[in-house]
Structure 1
C-alpha cells in the first residue's frame, strides 16, 4: 500500500470521526513531514517497507535540529494515531509506533494572572454600549468558565441555561460548565443589549458577534484581552491571552479546593495527566490553604 494512499484514507477516517478541521489539517501536515523524510532518506514509498527504526531516526533528526520537545511530541502523537488506525484496519501486523516513546518535556511553571489583575481586567470595560458589554462579558466568561477561545466563538444562545452553559469542545464533545450568579447577571444585561443592537438585522445565533453581526475571530478576542491587560498593568512576563485566562481559572479552582478529576471534566481534558500540569504552578502555602478548607475532620 502506498504511504500517500494510507495517509489519505486516514484523513477520510478522521472526517468520519468528526474531528475538527483544525485537528485534521494538523495531523495531515505532520504526517506529510514523516512521509517526505521516509521518501528522501530511506527511499520508502510503501507501508510494507516502513520500519520503526526509520521513525526513530526521524525523531532523532528533529532533536538534532533543536526542535522543541512539544513540537516533536505533537508529531509522535500524529504518527501513533495513524499507525494504530492502519493496524486496526489490518494493513499491518503490528503497531509500528508501539515502542516509540515521547520526548521528555521540561517542567515549566505556568504564569497566571493574580486576583488583582483579574479584577482589573474585568472592570476595564465598563460602559453600557453593546461593544463595551460584549468585551467585558467575554473576559468574564473566560475567567468564570475556563473555556477555550474556539468554544467561546462557537457558543450559541441556546447553549446558555439557567445555572450552566453547554460547551462543545474538541471533537464536538459535549460538557457542562457552571456559571456564577455574577456571570448570569451580566449575560442577562448583554443579551438584552445585543437584541436591541441587532434588532433589525438577521444575525447568527452566536452569543458574541462583531459590530457587523459576524462571529468573533480569534484575533479580535486576543486584541480585546491585550488592550485590557495593558491598561490594567498586568505583569509584562505574563502572556495576556485566552489560554492564560484558562490557566488562571484552573489554578484558582485548585487553590479553592476543587479536586483534580472535577477540574479535568470542567476543562474538557481527554486525560487527567493534562490537568495535572496546573498543579505545578501552585505554591506550598496555596496548597496548605486549600487543604485546610477541605480537611476531613473539619468537614464531617
Structure 2
C-alpha cells in the first residue's frame, strides 16, 4: 500500500484520538520528510518495500544536511509512532524502526564562575555596600539588621 495514503490514515487516527494540532502537524511533517526521501533517493512508494536500512540512510541524510541529533531524534520518535500504527493496523508485519536507536545528544555544559571571579565579585559587592553605608549615613548596626532580617 502507498505510504502517502497510510500517512493520511495515520493523521486521521491521531485526530480521532484527540492529539493536539501541533503534534499531528509535527508527525505529518516528519513522516512526510521520510516519504519524500524514499521517493527521491530510492524510488520507493510502497510501505512494504521500506527496510531498516532505508531508515538508517534517511537518518544519515538528516545528519549530512546539518540537522542536530535532538531534532533527528524527534523525527525518529515520529517515525516510531507511525510504524507502531502500521504494525497495529497490520499494514506491515515487521517494524522497520524496531532496532533503530536514538542518537546521542550533545550535553549542554553551563559555564559557572571560577573562584577567582567569584571572589572578585564579592570584593566589589563589599565595596559597594561600604560606599552605600558611608554615603547614605546609615549606621552599621542598622545596615546589619537590614541584611540579616
Q: TM-score, normalised by structure 2?
A: 0.71
RMSD of the alignment, in Å? 1.3
After superposition, the Cα gap between the structure-2 partners of 1:105 and 1:48, relative to the gap in structure 1 and judged at 3 Å, is: same
After superposition, the Cα gap between the structure-2 partners of 1:84 and 1:109, relative to the gap in structure 1 and judged at 3 Å, is: same
Q: CA deviation at 1:110?
A: 6.8
1:177-200 Cα deviation digits (max 9, x unpaired): xxxxxxxxxxxxxxxxxxxxxxxx
2:58 matched to which residue of 1?
Answer: 58
Q: CA deviation at 1:94?
A: 1.4
2:146 matched to which residue of 1?
Answer: none
Q: CA deviation at 1:83?
A: 0.4
Q: Secondary structure at the match of 2:63?
A: helix
* Residues 1-300 of structure 1 aligned to structure 2 (within 5 Å): 1-109=1-109
Q: CA deviation at 1:93?
A: 0.9
Q: Work out the CA distance in 2 between the residues paired with 1:7 and 1:109.
A: 39
1:184-235 Cα deviation digits (max 9, x unpaired): xxxxxxxxxxxxxxxxxxxxxxxxxxxxxxxxxxxxxxxxxxxxxxxxxxxx
Q: CA deviation at 1:109?
A: 4.3
Q: TM-score, normalised by structure 1?
A: 0.36
Q: CA deviation at 1:63?
A: 1.1
Q: Work out the CA distance in 2 between the residues paired with 1:24 and 1:44.
A: 24
After superposition, the Cα gap between the structure-2 partners of 1:41 and 1:109, relative to the gap in structure 1 and judged at 3 Å, is: same
After superposition, the Cα gap between the structure-2 partners of 1:40 and 1:21, relative to the gap in structure 1 and judged at 3 Å, is: same
Aligned length in residues: 111
Q: Work out the CA distance in 2 between the residues paired with 1:66 and 1:29.
A: 18
Q: CA deviation at 1:29?
A: 0.7
More helix by share: 2
Q: CA deviation at 1:92?
A: 0.9
Q: Which has the higher contact order (CA 8 A, sep 6+)?
A: 2
1:114 matched to which residue of 2?
Answer: none
Q: CA deviation at 1:77?
A: 0.6
After superposition, the Cα gap between the structure-2 partners of 1:109 and 1:19, relative to the gap in structure 1 and judged at 3 Å, is: farther
After superposition, the Cα gap between the structure-2 partners of 1:110 and 1:8, relative to the gap in structure 1 and judged at 3 Å, is: farther
Q: CA deviation at 1:26?
A: 0.8
Q: Work out the CA distance in 2 between the residues paired with 1:14 and 1:95.
A: 19
Q: Secondary structure at the match of 2:29?
A: helix
2:122 matched to which residue of 1?
Answer: none
Q: Work out the CA distance in 1 between the residues paired with 2:60 and 2:104.
A: 13
Q: Work out the CA distance in 2 between the residues paired with 1:25 and 1:64.
A: 24
Unpaired stretches in structure 2, ≥5 consecutive residues: 112-149
